[in-house]
Amino acid sequence: MSAYASLAAHFGRIAAMSNAVGILQWDSDTMMPKGAAASRAESLALLRVLQHEMAADARIGDWLEEAGGDATLGEWERANLREIRRVWTAQTALPADLVEASSKAISACEMAWRQAREDSDFPGLRPYLAEVLHLQREAGAAKGERLGLSPYDALLNDYEPGGRSATIDALFDDLAAFLPGFTQEALEAQARRPTPAPLEGPFPVEAQRGLGQRIMAALGYDFSRGRLDVSTHPFCGGADNDVRITTRYDEADFAKALMGVIHETGHALYEQGRPAAYMNQPVGQARGMVLHESQSLLMEMQACRSPEFLDFAAPLMREAFGASGPDWQADALWRRYTRIERGFIRVDADEVTYPAHVILRYRLEKALIADALPLAELPAAWNAGMKELLGTVPPNDRLGCLQDIHWPSGGWGYFPTYTLGAIAAAQLFDAACRAEPDALPGIARGDFAPLVGWLRTHVHGQGARFSTDELLTRATGRPLDAGMFKAHLARRYLG
Amino acid sequence: MSAYASLAAHFGRIAAMSNAVGILQWDSDTMMPKGAAASRAESLALLRVLQHEMAADARIGDWLEEAGGDATLGEWERANLREIRRVWTAQTALPADLVEASSKAISACEMAWRQAREDSDFPGLRPYLAEVLHLQREAGAAKGERLGLSPYDALLNDYEPGGRSATIDALFDDLAAFLPGFTQEALEAQARRPTPAPLEGPFPVEAQRGLGQRIMAALGYDFSRGRLDVSTHPFCGGADNDVRITTRYDEADFAKALMGVIHETGHALYEQGRPAAYMNQPVGQARGMVLHESQSLLMEMQACRSPEFLDFAAPLMREAFGASGPDWQADALWRRYTRIERGFIRVDADEVTYPAHVILRYRLEKALIADALPLAELPAAWNAGMKELLGTVPPNDRLGCLQDIHWPSGGWGYFPTYTLGAIAAAQLFDAACRAEPDALPGIARGDFAPLVGWLRTHVHGQGARFSTDELLTRATGRPLDAGMFKAHLARRYLG
């Protein structure tokens, strides 16, 4: 067996393990009875240790060296070697005692966070968060040393390979200068229109589920390789050829679940559309979190808050809920689903105000990792940033710096990918609509094939073959660029 | 760490792996989309190989040797060492190439069987089945050599540790002499009563599910450590503290699903009632398939086809389906659910005729393993046995020797446990009712606590601490004995 074949077989086994973990994690969040939590935690911990051991196997280094000189390999195989090396480096960069200490600190901090958030008690969280931060900084330093990156860039690199804070700074500074004035202008335009009263429910769960499934099918989701279920926190998970999404239903407001389903379907289309021949290889995985988030936001924000989508969806909504009248016409629904407001909570934010939440978190976490901001000053810095970027200050830390689980759970470096994803979504959607003139008109007919076909070719089917910027340049003519995002916002909210 | 502690930790990890396999297998049968089958098969194969490697670990032998001299161990710990040795011996008895050849032969034979059964084509199956039989014989010989057992007893021992064909021969010869005359007599008694017309459906799935869950709860099933779902072939599976059962619904006949739910609940009560302190250790597992089947049949046949059960359940059935009238009274329902008939198909058989199906299969598989019956003569031997034991001959092999998957799938030695379980069920139910005079009256009120409390103490909570016969002797005063089973049949069907 050639060194390349040995690597491919080995990473195929790692994928088989990762698929097992993915389904068990999905089950924990959707199906598992409460009393099984402790047994399940042991199974997942065991499988994750084995997966780590497989991905850190010393033979990988020898195989990589030998395969590097294999002149028979094609372009995909060479890209696979590059991705294998990336995965292997990440798995071997951290000393085992740091991994263990970090895992314990995160468990303790997550538990403390649940209570601290409830009590709006930042001082109660601080010692736990300080420990997580300290260990994240160490992890960033250890990885950074291997990769020649700053600690923050090394952390970011785990979620967005190739992502660099220098690039993000430029993009976010530009947006931070643009957004406050734009938001004010958009709110003023909105104030000139009447505020719609809430649609009258209840909207039965079964009807919501049926509507969601119908729209998933229209978007091109393959139900023979996935499922739709219910969980407290919606997600897209599962395994290769088994991409499962979840939502949660509110009988008073069907739009939350529906827009959530569309968002997760965007993620799922990326996963289902990865290259079949490399499905279980590193090069066949999604490129990174920026492009992943771009696919969910392209569907949720670009495609499915368009007037064209509501031309298609309004009759389905009326049919699902037996509704009628002027509030249920496409244009009224479109106005309703493109309303904006200044809020405190990121996950409830609209597409205009969302970037401000992200820019704030990005700036703060970068400063914390660089030790340029004392942790004790986080609440004050948060509130000052909210004032600057959003023009509003939360009344307490529960609605402020305690709202997200990312920092307590060790997800430092993740936040910027949300807004980078929104930027990429606008750029890709624009390119798709230019390349496929039937993309938007198709949506109005419920035919997403022109749009999704383009995404399959230019994004999903490329796996991790190119860097994010290289993929974007091939697909749209330029690397990540906020121009289309700003143009999209102006068209939709000032038009 | 002491040798015993090392063993306990190691087998705890094996249990964590086994729990992962259990949930993934459950998911394959209940939730998995079709397109995931190939990926899932790879994950399951990988996890099973790892589980086998862990259970065959050479260190286990050293730890066992050292722990054998540990005077600080209590009775449960010593029983755990005995069970650990049993598991380890079973895992190491077979050469790897035999395991692999057997696994391949079984996959091919199962596929051939599906077609052969459809076509009623025994000659088409024969070469595949011959290969499976040959490898089972080799496996039995290899295990038998390690254990000092005949090949058939060594195969049987995998399902029923300590089970021996000499004992089974005596029990089954006695039953084989008793049943043909008894069946004739019971059918004549039944013929003197009017044949009930079918109950008028449809019985909506949701109402059936609700009724099933209500009765599961009455039986003492713990929904915080399990679930009820739907699968093509009902089973009890899952993991420690996560005991999941399935059923399938027929809207024309609710009794099939309900009796299936009760049967699987009997299995589940055993699994949920295993000793908490040894839940992930070999001594904390169910003793074997005879006692397992005894718990499902005790619930399905002894407790829940009793007049007392129908006193409790008839009002729930009427309520669930909005039914009324004389057909829905407890006595009429009881007559309906204790009707018997001579049939060709084992899985459709009632408790009077079921043992004949099992005795036939037991005699045939024992002869085949011993090379005392040429495989080519199986159909003729099957039909002769059906004539002798059941007084009826199937018109073709589809309804005859091709009906069960057990032989194609390598389950040689499994069949006798069904009827040994029915015998143990009658014996245990009788002892429970004598020890707990409120057991039967309790059932009439929907209070299963007296019965289940006794089972928890005398069966479930004992795990694999004793042999089947020792457990039965402690619980009922004697080893496995068909007397109570025959008395039960006489009381119910001739009374």
> Given an 8 Å threshold on Cβ–Cβ distance, is B224 in contact with A33?
yes
**The two three-digit tokens of residue B437, written as one number:** 């005079």
> Given an 8 Å threshold on Cβ–Cβ distance, is B19 in contact with A40?
yes
Helix (H) or strand (E) holding A230: strand A226-230
pLDDT tens for A300-316 read 999 999 999 999 999 99
Alpha-carbon distance B40 to nearest alpha carbon in chain A (angstroms): 8
Distance, CA of A444 to CA of A314 (rounded, Å): 10
Q: For chains A and B, count residue pairs whose Cβ atoms are closer than 8 Å.
A: 112
Known catalytic membership, residue B377: no
Which residue in the set A20, A38, A222 is minimally distant from B43, CB to CB?
A: A20
Torsions phi, psi for B229 (to 5 deg):
-135, -170
Cα end-to-end span (Å), chain B:
62
Distance, CA of A78 to CA of A282 (rounded, Å): 11
- The residue of chain B with its CA nearest to that of A35 is B225
Identify whether the C-beta of residue A397 lies closer than 8 Å to the C-beta of residue A119: no
Q: Which residues of B are less than 8 Å from A47 in CB distance?
A: 17, 20, 47
CA A80, distance to chain mean position in Å, is 23
DSSP annotation of B95 reads -
Interchain CB contact of A110 with B (< 8 Å): no
Helix (H) or strand (E) holding B236: strand B236-239
Torsions phi, psi for A237 (to 5 deg):
-145, -155
- Give this complex's ipTM: 0.94
> Given an 8 Å threshold on Cβ–Cβ distance, is B33 in contact with A223?
yes
Q: Which residues of A are less than 8 Å from B228 in CB distance?
A: none
> Given an 8 Å threshold on Cβ–Cβ distance, is A20 in contact with B39?
no
pLDDT tens for A51-69 read 999 999 999 999 999 999 9
Q: Which of A264, A308, A351, A365 is catalytic?
A: A264
User: How many other C-beta atoms can be found within 10 angstroms of the C-beta atom of residue A96?
Assistant: 9
Which residue in the set B31, B225, B280 is minimally distant from A36, CB to CB?
A: B225
Identify the residue among B14, B29, B32, B42 best suited for mutation to test binding to A, counting A beta carbons within 10 A and taking the highest.
B42
Tokens 């049943």 found at: B179
Show binding-site residues of A: 263, 267, 293
Alpha-carbon distance A266 to nearest alpha carbon in chain B (angstroms): 19
Give pLDDT, residue A197.
87
C-alpha distance from residue B466 to each of A87, B299, B460, B470 (Å): 50, 22, 12, 6
Alpha-carbon distance B262 to nearest alpha carbon in chain A (angstroms): 20
Residue B272 pLDDT > 90, yes or no? Answer: yes
> Given an 8 Å threshold on Cβ–Cβ distance, is A280 in contact with B39?
yes
Identify whether the C-beta of residue A258 lies closer than 8 Å to the C-beta of residue A211: yes
User: How many other C-beta atoms can be found within 10 angstroms of the C-beta atom of residue B434?
Assistant: 12
Q: Is B284 exposed, middle or buried (0-12, 13-18, 19+ CB in 10 A)?
A: buried
> Given an 8 Å threshold on Cβ–Cβ distance, is A12 in contact with B43?
no
Alpha-carbon distance B74 to nearest alpha carbon in chain A (angstroms): 25
Distance, CA of A374 to CA of A386 (rounded, Å): 18
> Given an 8 Å threshold on Cβ–Cβ distance, is A33 in contact with B239?
no
Interface of A with B in 230-269 (CB under 8 A): 239-242
Give pLDDT, residue A19.
98
Identify the residue among A31, A271, A280 best suited for mutation to test binding to B, counting B beta carbons within 10 A and taking the highest.
A31
Tokens 């008939």 found at: B341
Helix (H) or strand (E) holding B204: none
DSSP annotation of A304 reads T
Provide long-range contacts, Cβ within 8 A and 24+ apart, for B388-392. B388/B180, B389/B176, B389/B179, B389/B180, B389/B356, B389/B359, B389/B360, B390/B180, B390/B183, B390/B342, B390/B353, B390/B356, B390/B357, B390/B360, B391/B180, B391/B183, B391/B184, B391/B342, B392/B342, B392/B343, B392/B344
Alpha-carbon distance A167 to nearest alpha carbon in chain B (angstroms): 38
Interchain CB contact of B38 with A (< 8 Å): yes
Q: Which of B100, B145, B160, B264 is catalytic?
A: B264
DSSP annotation of A302 reads I
Residue B163 pLDDT > 90, yes or no? Answer: yes
Show binding-site residues of A for Zn(2+): 263, 267, 293
Interface of A with B in 195-234 (CB under 8 A): 222-227
Interchain CB contact of B17 with A (< 8 Å): yes
The mean pLDDT value of chain B amounts to 97
C-alpha distance from residue A63 to each of A4, A9, A465 (Å): 7, 12, 20
Is residue B197 very low, low, confident or very high in pLDDT (cuts 50, 70, 90)?
Answer: confident
Residue B495 pLDDT > 90, yes or no? Answer: no
Q: In what order do the strands lie in the sheet with B226-230?
A: B226-230, B242-247, B236-239
CA B69, distance to chain mean position in Å, is 37
- The residue of chain B with its CA nearest to that of A49 is B13
Distance, CA of A420 to CA of A189 (rounded, Å): 26
Distance, CA of B35 to CA of B438 (rounded, Å): 52
Q: Which residues of A are less than 8 Å from B243 in CB distance?
A: none
DSSP symbols for B336-351: HHT-----S-GGG--T
CA A489, distance to chain mean position in Å, is 20
Give pLDDT, residue B10.
98
Query: How many Cα atoms are found within 13 Å in the side-chain-facing hemisphere of A150?
Result: 13
B170 CB contacts (<8 Å, ≥6 apart)?
A: none
Give pLDDT, residue B11.
98
B365 is in an annotated binding site: no
Distance, CA of A493 to CA of A133 (rounded, Å): 39
> Given an 8 Å threshold on Cβ–Cβ distance, is B224 in contact with A38?
no
Alpha-carbon distance B50 to nearest alpha carbon in chain A (angstroms): 10
> Given an 8 Å threshold on Cβ–Cβ distance, is A43 in contact with B17?
yes
pLDDT tens for B303-342 read 999 999 999 999 999 999 999 999 999 999 999 999 999 9
Identify the residue among A18, A34, A42, A44 best suited for mutation to test binding to B, counting B beta carbons within 10 A and taking the highest.
A42
- The residue of chain B with its CA nearest to that of A47 is B17
Cα end-to-end span (Å), chain A:
62
> Given an 8 Å threshold on Cβ–Cβ distance, is A19 in contact with B42?
yes
Is residue B55 very low, low, confident or very high in pLDDT (cuts 50, 70, 90)?
Answer: very high
Q: In what order do the strands lie in the sheet with A236-239?
A: A226-230, A242-247, A236-239
B267 is in an annotated binding site: yes
Which residue in the set A39, A47, A242 is minimally distant from B36, CB to CB?
A: A242
Q: Directed axis angle between helix A3-30 and helix A75-92, to 10°?
A: 60
Q: What is the pLDDT along chain A (495 residues), one digit of tens a residue?
A: 999 999 999 999 999 999 999 999 999 999 999 999 999 999 999 999 999 999 999 999 999 999 999 999 999 999 999 999 999 999 999 988 999 899 999 999 999 999 999 999 999 999 999 999 999 999 999 999 999 999 999 999 999 999 999 999 999 999 999 999 999 999 999 999 988 888 999 999 999 999 999 999 999 999 999 999 999 999 999 999 999 999 999 999 999 999 999 999 999 999 999 999 999 999 999 999 999 999 999 999 999 999 999 999 999 999 999 999 999 999 999 999 999 999 999 999 999 999 999 999 999 999 999 999 999 999 999 999 999 999 999 999 999 999 999 999 999 999 999 999 999 999 999 999 999 999 999 999 999 999 999 999 999 999 999 999 999 999 999 999 999 999 999 999 997
Which residue in the set A20, A33, A241 is minimally distant from B227, CB to CB?
A: A33
